[in-house]
Amino acid sequence: MEKKVIPHCPICLEEMKVGQEVVLDGTFKGILHTDCSYLTLEEVEDQGLYEEIIRRNQRWLKQFNHTIMH
């Protein structure tokens, strides 16, 4: 098996999983669980299910490309 780098929520330190509600931090370009988010609406760049966020933001999430969906 390939070695995988799985994004973790920086707040609760849990692995991000498909189907979870997450928000995209527009400032630091990180992903947080919606429930863990401390961001204001202005700071949230995108919001939705983890896999949708990854798919919509491939350009700057390239470092995670090999983690899921392939």
- Which positions lie near Zn ion, rule CB under 5 A? 9, 11-12, 33, 36
> What minimum distance in Å lies between the beta carbon of 12 and Zn ion?
3
Strands annotated E in the chain = 21-25, 30-33, 44-49
How far apart, in whole angstroms, are the C-alpha atoms of residue 17 and residue 28?
Answer: 20
Residue 32 or 61 with smaller CB distance to Zn ion:
32
Residue 12 or 69 with smaller CB distance to Zn ion:
12
Distances from the Cα of 12 to the Cα of 35, 38, 55, 66, 69, angstroms:
10, 12, 23, 23, 23
Residue 17 or 59 with smaller CB distance to Zn ion:
17
Output the residue with the shortest Cβ distance to Zn ion. Answer: 9
